[in-house]
Structure 1
């Protein structure tokens, strides 16, 4: 998303020029090809939840440089100033059409939405909160994968989030996972893929390793559209592909349909 000389924005998919102000009033979608520009975590919550209903949870968690990785904390601080977020995910409680839900939204502006210890802990706390309060859980994933600067501590979050979701599932909780562009790496391989209902935005890139790595490994030509939402839905990995303007209404219908489904443990 690069600004033009006239302060327009050029779509990375079709290269069409989009008026910046109009883009922000049109769901941040290209009017020519319907490309979904990335949303910040705050924008995602504002478009999805009832006005002024969001109450944050899992606040006050701070990233530590457990491996003493060079310049890591400096880059974390730069992202905090740039995004006004403590980490790459924002979690809390809010309402969708009057239905109270626990919701988390990732933000690719913060270390490309990578999952370190704080991101994992935030997701775990959101799951536990949904379990304890018997509320549905909705997570919007957008991530480059596990965070290399935290090594094994980052990879451990895959197991931790999956384990908590297993408890939530066995207790009868409803978990809706929404995959946005891009959702890759360890996030795809853990909580993003474990929803009772899995939704994606159109043409979202979803996968574990990148297409080039896979092609070099298996030494075969990959199918057209490989790892895009439409390809994955055709293969049964996704339940729904929903364009951004219809997403809130779709979530509301699902919540109405599953009304009364609550965790029991």
Structure 2
């Protein structure tokens, strides 16, 4: 398939899947429950963190997490008591448990009190090459408080060759403005051109079949290759093609 034909095909698939109907079956439905910017950010970050495995389980546990936070995540992060933190100990999603969630809440409070919030960190550390260096810096800041080593595995580091699928998905939610269809576009000082595709088994397999990706592993090197291909199709909004790749893989078994 020639590039022009491929672009036409993928643009059509983006229009097919980048619609409000996408929300009902996707983890992005969790931050869509909120209207306050900080609630959207925090619920989105926590939901993206546990977005691996069975989708029904992800949605069930993400909703349970929001209930534990009183369905007001920003207020909980800033104003929780130690007793309220203890109530998180029962949470579990696969290998992410109450110990991890408790640290995440402590760290998020530190980020909003000392680092100008989630948006501030990524804005301050983004550059023209993209947001992967910013993700690396974010992880360093996120774990600057005392913590158990086990919790570190729940925030990926692209500079250690991770594709960082979940955090790239979170960044797509926050940065990309699709006029309210799915993504929020509430972070105004980062460009959609800097975003990277949330590379997973589905998007990776479809990208290989379409000739957008040759590397077999879904790692940081593969992400760089895929980003390069997608930016040739649309340099201003390359990550929109995540909808096409994901939809073709998950819904159409392409």
Q: TM-score, normalised by structure 1?
A: 0.27
The structure with the largest strand share of the pair is 1
The structure with the largest helix share of the pair is 2
Bigger RCO of structures 1 and 2 (CA < 8 A, at least 6 apart): 2
